[in-house]
Amino acid sequence: MANKEYLLIPGPTPVSDEVYDALGRETMGHTDPRFAKIYKNAIEMTKELFNTDAEAYVISGSGTLAMEMAIVNTVSKGERLLVISHGFFGDRFIPLAKAFGIEVDVIQAEWGKQVDVKEVVNQLKQHSYKAVTVTHVDTSTGVESNIAELIPVVKRAGALFILDGVCATAALEEDLSKGYGADDAKIDVVLTGSQKAIGMPPGLAIIAFSDEAIAAREQLAEVPAYYADIQNWRKVMDTPTAYFATPPVNLIYAYECAMKIVLNEGMEARIKRHENYGTAIRRALIAYGMNPLAKEDVASPTLSCILYPEGIDDALFREKLAERGIIVAGALAHLAGKAFRIGHMGSTTPQMLEQAICHIGEVLEELGHKVTIGAALKAFREVLTVEKV
């Protein structure tokens, strides 16, 4: 299935022909042993991605459902949650937790910057927190959080570390077995969706729990959820012929295929590829006089939030790009109209990004902003040529 447009938004992202082919296979019954084998393989590959032999869940839903699963299965009403936010999507944990009667404190970074770890240390001294949430890459700002510094701080305070990987999983390291600064300083929960760096259509909520996080669920007498209660899904994840709720059969086909692509590429190579894409696209756009919101040392490899030069109309810019088959996203909150967001993750290719650079240059010229497309392409190609991508 040919992609008629280049979907370079923060998600959904371009889907490969192999994944489309898998998605279009004949639907099996959800308890068919043949489907159960596919489902089980997909779950096992999820554990491999997160380097864990604990528990992983792949169910019908979105990243928002996975966020809810992470919270309701670890933190109970009246307990405290600390939200470390690098933008709009980090903030989403606030109303989500409050909906379940959880006490919430928040540390918010200035958009485009990371939270100061010292501020986190000081806040953790103020209260006893059951868990701390961090968004690995915030889709609104293009900031990658400094988890290697945050994890040991959180774990020393005795809290669970919950990582929102929606815009990072399969492009950045999210290793549940790795100790960050200490053997016991590990990620406890990582959650994501299917439609970003994994490179398949939306529709799956994906989440993995460490043994410590599972123990936290076992200590809760009950949770304010039914569909989101991992205990109701555990038997299905262990034995997919079991039934709790009908799984999205064709999406599981697609997910198994996408996970094979991810793991066959290898995470080391995949991480490097995404780092190169991010650096290359930002250098190209800087050549047009466009500035990334996040400085390079905190910028994400999966998407970039790009500030417009003076005088560029956001809606018109994106409309003219779309006419050329390049789809980018507007900015959120106070940046709406002042910036756009471009995704460079998953199945995105250098050819797609080069086309985007060319058309962005054309649109900028059409809107009266003088640019040199050749200079931008040179800046882009220098990064990828050096790294042989």
Binding site, residues?
Answer: 341
DSSP per-residue string spanning 70-87:
HHHTT--TT-EEEEEESS
Contact 54, 265 (CB under 8 A): no
Residues 6+ apart with CB under 8 A from 44: none
Tell me the CA distances in angstroms from 383 to 193, 238, 277, 379, 388, one per residue in order. Answer: 29, 44, 8, 7, 9
Sequence-ordered strand ranges (E) for 109-203: 131-135, 137-138, 143-144, 160-164, 189-193
Q: How many CB atoms lie within 10 A of CB 208?
A: 30
Write out the two tokens for 366. Answer: 């059409």
Residues 6+ apart with CB under 8 A from 6: 14, 325, 326, 327, 352, 355, 356
Q: Between vectors from CA 203 to CA 202 and to CA 207, what angle results, nearest 5°?
A: 105
DSSP per-residue string spanning 23-60:
HTSPPPPTT-HHHHHHHHHHHHHHHHHTT-SSEEEEEE
Cα–Cα dist 242/36, whole Å? 9
Cα–Cα dist 160/81, whole Å? 10
Q: Which residues sit in the known binding site for substrate?
A: 341
Sequence-ordered strand ranges (E) for the chain: 6-7, 55-60, 80-85, 103-108, 131-135, 137-138, 143-144, 160-164, 189-193, 204-209, 291-292, 303-307, 326-327, 329-330, 339-343
Cα–Cα dist 68/85, whole Å? 16
Contact 197, 345 (CB under 8 A): yes
Question: Bridge partners of 326?
Answer: 6
